[in-house]
Amino acid sequence: DVVLTQSPATLSVTPGERISLSCRASESVDTYLHWYQQKPNESPRLLIKYASQSISGIPSRFSGSGSGTDFTLSINGVELEDLSIYYCQQGNSLPFTFGSGTKLEIK
């Protein structure tokens, strides 16, 4: 199975900051890497698909990059509403797997 390692586990941020979250795969997943946001007591929401493709309705401050084994989700100007847990997920091979998440909190 492909193991996805997300770092850091927790990130303390100040509103307005530009931040980057990392997701590293145990083997190449090409660009079959997707990002989700999960707020407390809510279902996950798809933010980015295929590593860098934007999703309709998602604010433009969210962007993704990477290929192979190293991926990054960036938020350009964090807002209070962005405080959530962020998960990466690979769809290159079955079983589909998720990273353990990065929790964004206020500094």
Q: Are strands 85-90 and 33-38 parallel, antiparallel or unpaired?
A: antiparallel
> Is the CB of residue 34 less than 8 Å from the CB of residue 19?
no
CB of 33 to other proteins, least distance (A): 9
Residue with smaller CB distance to other proteins, 61 or 96: 96
Q: How far is the CB of 100 from other proteins (least distance, A)?
A: 5
Nearer to other proteins, 14 or 59 (CB): 59
User: Using CA atoms, how far apart are residues 102 and 84, in angstroms rounded to an integer?
Assistant: 8
Can you tell me which residue has the tokens 């509103």? Answer: 15
Q: How far is the CB of 1 from other proteins (least distance, A)?
A: 8
Closest CB to other proteins among residues 36, 71:
36
Q: Based on DSSP, count helices (H) and strands (E) in the chain, helices before strands.
A: 0, 11
Residues that bind other proteins (CB under 8 A): 32, 34, 36, 38, 43-46, 49, 55, 87, 89, 91-92, 94-101
CB of 83 to other proteins, least distance (A): 17
- Give the pair of three-digit tokens for residue 87: 């998960």
